Structure 1
Amino acid sequence: MRPAKAFVFLIAAIATARGVISAPAWAEDLERKACFVDAKRLCPTEVKALSRSRVRVCLLARVEQTSLGCHAFILKAQADKKAGTKGAAR
């Protein structure tokens, strides 16, 4: 599997784990793509390592530097997790 495809799969898994399942499929794709570009730019070491947890931690640490789409996705996922809403990450 090519690294780029593997990372897209990784982002998809993160999005699913973060509770995005309830969003329409096209919205999930936009969010994943937004965060994929930011992860490649802000967290190249973590992306190369294909470490889902390290990418998540890296993006959370640099949330203020992410694009608007990824920023909104990360903040929503954090809010859902704190609120304990259905589909939030466990």
Structure 2
Amino acid sequence: MSLTSVKMSEDVWLTCLTHALSTETEEIMGLLLGDIQHSKNGSVTALIWGALPQPRCDRQKDRVETNPEQLTAASVQAEISFICIKLSI
């Protein structure tokens, strides 16, 4: 299965762009939250509804790392967002 298209809100796009431009000389890392939608015609679309930029915990040029606490907090936020979205449907 390969993606045919990706859809994201303007807010997600601006979050990613702002994160990239604010750290323009460094590599960045973040999490995109979303779902996969399968169409009857066989196309597969990624629906991105959230972005969680992650600050770097290591300033070495050859790596981008985040600490486990940040990833855990992002995971909890993703679960809460997922539940809220599913309950609103």
TM-score by length of 2: 0.28
Tell which has more relative contact order, 1 or 2 (C-alpha 8 A, sep 6+): 1
Query: Which of the two has greater strand per residue?
Result: 2
Query: Which of the two has greater helix per residue?
Result: 1
TM-score by length of 1: 0.28
User: Rg larger in 1 or in 2?
Assistant: 2
